[in-house]
A and B are shown apart, each in its own frame.
Chain A
C-alpha cells in the first residue's frame, strides 16, 4: 500500500523532470520575420508588485499594444516576452538568464526595484544585452559606466534633491522663515537601496541649504513596529518630515504617527506608496493624506496637454496618446487615475521603442543589442515631446553629473515634480515651469498630524 503510494508519487516526479527537460528543449522557438522580441522583466508577484511594479508592467504592456495596433515600428511587430521577477533579485537574475539565453531577446525592459535593477544591469552588461531601466531610480544603476544600460527615468538623487530644493527655494517662506537655514528637517527612510539613494541626496541638499537636520534614521520596510521611530520624531520636533518608504511601512508610519500624536508642519514623501494617495487614504483615512506632498515624474493625467507636442514618430498629438492610454488602462484594469508608475511604464517604453528602435532599423538595418545601443546613444528628444513630458538625451560615456559621479546611459533631461494632494486633487507645485498651483503649507488643520 505504502509502496504503491510511493511509486505513484515517484511517477509524478519523473513526469515533472521529463516535462521540465522538454520545455527547456522546446523553448527556443524560431522567431517569424519582422518581429522584435522584447523582454519585459517586472515583479508581478511579491511585495513590490502592489507598490507599483504591477502598475509599471501594465503600462509597459499597453504601450506595446498601442504600438502594434499602429503597425509597429518600421513594419516590425513587437513581441513582449514577460517574466516575473517575483520581487526577488535571485529570481530576477534567473529570469534574465532565461530571457537572454533561451528567448534570445536583444533588450530587457522593466524592473521596479533598485535591488533588482543593479544585478540585472550588471548581468546585461556581461551578456551584451541592452537593459532599459523603467522605474528603478537608485543612482548606482547608471553610476558604473555600463555601455548597455539606459534609463529615461530620473535618478534617486533627483528625488532627494528635488524635495529639499522645493523647501529651500520656496517652501521655507510658507513656513514663515526668512531663510532656509531656519527650517528643521527630519529624514526617515527604509533601509533598502531605494530609500538609501534618495535620502543620501536629501542629506546633501539639506546641508547645501544649511537647514537643521534634527533626525536622520533608517528602518526596515518589513518592520512590524516603528513606534520608537515616531517617538524619536516627536522628541526632535521637526518642521518638515522627508519620508522615503515602500507602502505597508508608510501605512504603518501614518497610523502610528496619528495615534502617538506626532505633529509636524510639512510631510513630504518620495514616490512608491506616496504616489498613490487614494490607496493610502483607504488605509489611514483621507484627512491624514490631505496636504501630503510627493515627488515623482508627474502622472500623465496631471500633465498640461497644451504644453505637449506631436509624437515624433507617429505624428499624432501626445495628448491623444495619453487619453488613449488612460482609456485602455481603465478598460483593462478599472482604474481611472493610475499611479505614476503606470505612466512611467507606458511613456518610457513607448519613447524608447518609437525613437531608438526605429533609428536602429533605419540606420543599421537590423535590431541587435548593439544597434539598439548605438541608436540610443544618438537619441535627442526635446522637452514636451514624450508622454512623460520631459525630453530624452542619454549621458555619453565618461560624462559626470554635478556630484562628479559617472552617469552614463542616464537621461539628462528627465526630472520629477513635487506635487501636493490637496482636497482630493493633485497640484504640481515645483518646479515653477510645471507648477499648476500654490502649495498649501503648513498642513491643513483638518489633518491630525498638523501642529
Chain B
C-alpha cells in the first residue's frame, strides 16, 4: 500500500509541479507573487472544456486554450502587474487577491456554478498488482517534459539566459543591456503557456467549477516557497516532497490531519532553511 501511495504521490507531485513552475517563473522574473495563478488555470480549464465539448478534439482544445491564455496573461501583465512593480509586496498580494475574487466570480457569472468535466475515461493500468492512474501518468509525463523543455529553454537559448539573468539580479541584467519590459512579457507569456498546459492536465483529472483554482493555489505556494522563490529546479523538487509528505501522511493519519502535518512540515523546513531548499537568499 505504501508503495502504491508513494507512486501516486509522485504522480500527484508532477501535477503540482506544473502549477508551481508558472507561479515561480512569474515571481522570479517579474517579482510578482500572483495569488490568482490558480484562477488563471481555472479559466484555462473552462477553455479546454468548452472547446473539447464543441470539437471533441483534445489537441485542438489544448492548442486554442494555450494560445489564448498567453495573450491573456500579457494583458494582465500590462493592466495590473506593471502598475504594481514599484509597490510594496503586500499591495501586490491585495491586487492579486482581488484578482482571485474577480476571476472566480466572473467565471461564476459567465458559466454558472455547475460542475463540469470531460467524459474522458482512460484504460486501467496495472503492474504487479500496483494500479497506476493513467490520467495522472499523462499529466505527470506532460509536466515533466514541460519542466525539461523549460530547462533547455532557460539554459540553452539566449532569451532563456536573459531571463535567468533577470531572475538572479535584475539591476545587473539591465546593465548588460537586457530590456526588463521585454523579459517581463516573455516570462509572463511562458507563465500563460504553463498555465494552459496545467489546465489541460487538470481537466483530465478534476471536475471544473469556478472555485477549482483556489484548491491548488495553497499547494502551489507551499511548493514554490519550499523549493525557494526564484529557483525553478527547487519547485520541481519541492513539488515531489510536498506531495509525498501529503500522500504518505494521509495514509498514516488520515486525510484531515494530513493537511496540518504538511503545513507544519513546511513551516519547519522554512525556519530551518529561511530561503527554501534551493533558494539563493536575498
Beta-carbon contact of B247 and A228 below 8 Å: yes
Of the candidate stretches A96-104, A213-221, A383-391, A403-411, the one touching chain B is A213-221
Beta-carbon contact of B256 and A228 below 8 Å: no
| Cβ 8 A contact of A50, one of B115, B133, B258 | B115
Beta-carbon contact of B256 and A219 below 8 Å: yes
Interface 0/1 of B125-166, CB less than 8 Å to A: 010000111111000000000000000000000000000000
A222 to B115, CA, bound (A): 14
The reply to whether the CB of A284 lies closer than 8 angstroms to some CB of chain B is: yes
Q: Which A residue sits closest to B8, measured CB to CB?
A: A227
B12 contact set on A, CB distance < 8 A:
225, 227
Beta-carbon contact of B115 and A251 below 8 Å: yes
| Cβ 8 A contact of A235, one of B1, B112, B258 | B1
Q: Which A residue sits closest to B3, measured CB to CB?
A: A231
Supposing A228-B8, A279-B115 touch, asked if A260 and B131 sit within 8 A by C-beta, the answer is: yes
A43 to B122, CA, bound (A): 35
| Cβ 8 A contact of B207, one of A218, A227, A252, A256 | A252
Beta-carbon contact of B115 and A228 below 8 Å: no
The reply to whether the CB of B68 lies closer than 8 angstroms to some CB of chain A is: no
Interface 0/1 of A208-247, CB less than 8 Å to B: 0000000001111011111111011011000000000001
The reply to whether the CB of A248 lies closer than 8 angstroms to some CB of chain B is: yes
B216 contact set on A, CB distance < 8 A:
224
The reply to whether the CB of B205 lies closer than 8 angstroms to some CB of chain A is: yes
The reply to whether the CB of A47 lies closer than 8 angstroms to some CB of chain B is: yes
A235 to B4, CA, bound (A): 11
Interface 0/1 of A276-300, CB less than 8 Å to B: 0001011111000000000000000
Q: Which B residue sits closest to A217, measured CB to CB?
A: B254
Supposing A225-B12, A252-B207, A256-B133 touch, asked if A45 and B255 sit within 8 A by C-beta, the answer is: no
Interface residues of B in 259-278 (CB under 8 A from A): 259
Interface 0/1 of B208-250, CB less than 8 Å to A: 0101100110010000000000000000000000010011001
Q: How far is the CB of A221 from chain B (nearest CB, A)?
A: 10
| Cβ 8 A contact of A227, one of B5, B124, B256 | B5
| Cβ 8 A contact of A283, one of B4, B5, B207, B255 | B207
A303 to B108, CA, bound (A): 34
The reply to whether the CB of A75 lies closer than 8 angstroms to some CB of chain B is: no
B282 contact set on A, CB distance < 8 A:
none
A402 to B244, CA, bound (A): 45
The reply to whether the CB of B168 lies closer than 8 angstroms to some CB of chain A is: no
Q: Using a Cβ–Cβ cut-off of 8 Å, how many residues does chain B contribute to the interface with A? A: 43
Beta-carbon contact of B219 and A224 below 8 Å: yes
Supposing A54-B113, A251-B117, A284-B121 touch, asked if A259 and B254 sit within 8 A by C-beta, the answer is: no
Beta-carbon contact of A228 and B135 below 8 Å: no
Beta-carbon contact of A248 and B256 below 8 Å: no
Q: Using a Cβ–Cβ cut-off of 8 Å, how many residues does chain A contribute to the interface with B? A: 40
| Cβ 8 A contact of B206, one of A229, A248, A282 | A248
| Cβ 8 A contact of B1, one of A218, A226, A231, A281 | A231
A283 to B209, CA, bound (A): 12
Among B1, B131, B215, B247, find the residue whose CB has the most chain A CB atoms closer than 10 A: B131
Beta-carbon contact of B124 and A261 below 8 Å: yes
Q: Which A residue sits closest to B4, measured CB to CB?
A: A231
Supposing A259-B131, A261-B124 touch, asked if A45 and B8 sit within 8 A by C-beta, the answer is: no
Q: Which B residue sits closest to A51, measured CB to CB?
A: B115
A229 contact set on B, CB distance < 8 A:
250, 255
A431 to B212, CA, bound (A): 38
B132 contact set on A, CB distance < 8 A:
259
Q: How far is the CB of B17 from chain A (nearest CB, A)?
A: 14
Beta-carbon contact of B1 and A248 below 8 Å: no
A47 to B210, CA, bound (A): 8
Q: Which A residue sits closest to B255, measured CB to CB?
A: A219
Beta-carbon contact of B259 and A448 below 8 Å: no
A226 contact set on B, CB distance < 8 A:
255
A226 to B5, CA, bound (A): 10
Beta-carbon contact of A248 and B116 below 8 Å: no
Beta-carbon contact of B255 and A282 below 8 Å: no
B247 contact set on A, CB distance < 8 A:
225, 227-228
The reply to whether the CB of B105 lies closer than 8 angstroms to some CB of chain A is: yes
A188 to B65, CA, bound (A): 36
B119 contact set on A, CB distance < 8 A:
281-285
A432 contact set on B, CB distance < 8 A:
none
Beta-carbon contact of B114 and A225 below 8 Å: no
Beta-carbon contact of A228 and B215 below 8 Å: no
A283 to B4, CA, bound (A): 25
Q: How far is the CB of A431 from chain B (nearest CB, A)?
A: 31
Q: How far is the CB of B98 from chain A (nearest CB, A)?
A: 14
Q: How far is the CB of A401 from chain B (nearest CB, A)?
A: 29
A251 to B250, CA, bound (A): 19
The reply to whether the CB of A255 lies closer than 8 angstroms to some CB of chain B is: yes
Interface residues of B in 90-120 (CB under 8 A from A): 105, 108, 112-117, 119
Q: How far is the CB of A228 from chain B (nearest CB, A)?
A: 4
The reply to whether the CB of B75 lies closer than 8 angstroms to some CB of chain A is: no
Supposing A217-B255, A260-B131 touch, asked if A45 and B105 sit within 8 A by C-beta, the answer is: yes
B243 contact set on A, CB distance < 8 A:
225
The reply to whether the CB of A312 lies closer than 8 angstroms to some CB of chain B is: no
Among A54, A220, A225, A252, find the residue whose CB has the most chain B CB atoms closer than 10 A: A225
Among A54, A255, A281, find the residue whose CB has the most chain B CB atoms closer than 10 A: A255
The reply to whether the CB of A191 lies closer than 8 angstroms to some CB of chain B is: yes
Beta-carbon contact of B256 and A218 below 8 Å: yes
Beta-carbon contact of B133 and A227 below 8 Å: yes
B114 contact set on A, CB distance < 8 A:
50, 279
A49 to B105, CA, bound (A): 13
Q: How far is the CB of A216 from chain B (nearest CB, A)?
A: 10
Known: A282-B119, A285-B121. 18 other contacts (CB 8 A): A45-B105, A47-B211, A49-B113, A218-B254, A218-B256, A220-B256, A220-B259, A222-B215, A225-B243, A225-B247, A225-B250, A227-B12, A231-B4, A247-B207, A255-B135, A259-B132, A259-B135, A283-B116
**12 cross-chain CB contacts under 8 A:** A46-B211, A47-B113, A218-B255, A224-B215, A224-B216, A225-B250, A231-B4, A231-B8, A232-B1, A248-B212, A258-B121, A259-B131
List A residues at the B interface (Cβ < 8 Å). Answer: 45-47, 49-50, 54, 191, 217-220, 222-229, 231-232, 234-235, 247-248, 251-252, 255-256, 258-261, 279, 281-285, 448
The 5 A-B residue pairs whose C-beta atoms are closest, nearest first, are A259-B133, A283-B117, A49-B113, A261-B131, A219-B255
